[in-house]
Amino acid sequence: MVEPKVVQSLPEIEMTRKKDVSRKKYEEIITVFKSNKMGMVGISIFVFFGLIALIGPIIFPFNPLQIGSGNEVLQPPSSEHWLGTDDLGRDVFAALISGSRVSLGVGVLATVITMVVGTLIGIASGYSGGKVDTILMRFTEIFLVLPWLPLMLVLAALLGSSIWNIILVIGLTSWSSTARIVRAQTLSVKERQFIERAKAIGANDFYIMYKHILPNVFPLIFANTILVSAVAILSETSLSFLGMGDASHPSWGMMLHYAFTSGAASVGAYWFLLPPGLCVVGVVLGFTFLGYAFDEYFNPKLRRK
């Protein structure tokens, strides 16, 4: 007996097509990353520090703020303190594990603010043109020409040194370059024929920006997000190192600040100075490698080279 042939409806056919496209894109990303050594190194570094931030405090539930006794000050690595102690007798390994969550968390949340603000201003400026474009770009250029570190220091001093204020300060001072990049891509996309067709059938500006402009500039936004994350982590480290960090939430930058103020380098306490510095360098390097790998995926010209 011949079984009747099942005929799919149009929504089912469209859903199947979208699943096939998603699967092919996923397979393409895996192929590009497997052939890109920097991408694989970046993923490995990102996963390593991500696991430390997520499950490190659970596996090693130490109190990084617990002050040790007088004879435990600046002790070298031992079986009791794997990475030694700081100038107050606190365990450096505990502070390093706890600081990973703070540094990465601040970097990720500040990057979200940066990308949202930069994307909104970039798309609105590039698509609208005219006076709106002029006003938004002059406003953007003000943030581009201002020295970012003094600006962050002033804002952090005015708002206070809480962890949420630091996230807000970094996010609101780092969006200008993203806005310029998104605007440039928007100017290119809005001249394409499908945008003219959308206008011809009566689509409003908000619908066009949300449904047509944003999906076409998103690959560039995503690749830029990886690199901005590294800048955000460096910004948090710089603020904390200069004494503007939240002392109740120790980060890698705060560890470097305490190591500098206590003269760890002059007394040879390398275990207090090197671990947080190497962690910052490792995370930034990992994000940079990931950014190059995603840039290669989204730019076929680089892939052919």
CA–CA–CA angle 165, 168, 170 (5° rounding): 110
Does 37 score more than 90 pLDDT? no
Q: What is the CATH number of domain 36-53+93-304?
A: 1.10.3720.10
Share of the chain above pLDDT 70, in %: 86
Within 8 A by CB and 6+ apart from 113, the residues are 167, 168, 170, 171, 172, 175
Query: CA-CA distance, 287 to 133, in Å (whole number)?
Result: 32
Question: Which spans in the chain are helix H?
Answer: 10-34, 37-59, 92-128, 130-145, 148-159, 163-173, 176-189, 193-200, 205-208, 214-241, 252-261, 270-298, 300-304
Query: CA-CA distance, 271 to 276, in Å (whole number)?
Result: 9
Q: What is the pTM of this model?
A: 0.81
As a whole number, mean pLDDT of residues 167-192 equals 89
Does 26 score more than 80 pLDDT? no
pLDDT tier at 113 (50, 70, 90 boundaries)?
A: very high
As a whole number, mean pLDDT of residues 276-291 equals 88
Q: Which of 270, 285, 291 is nearest to 74 (CA)?
A: 270
Within 8 A by CB and 6+ apart from 36, the residues are 292, 293, 296
Does 293 score more than 80 pLDDT? no
Residue pLDDT, tens place only, 222-234: 878 888 888 889 8
Share of the chain above pLDDT 90, in %: 11
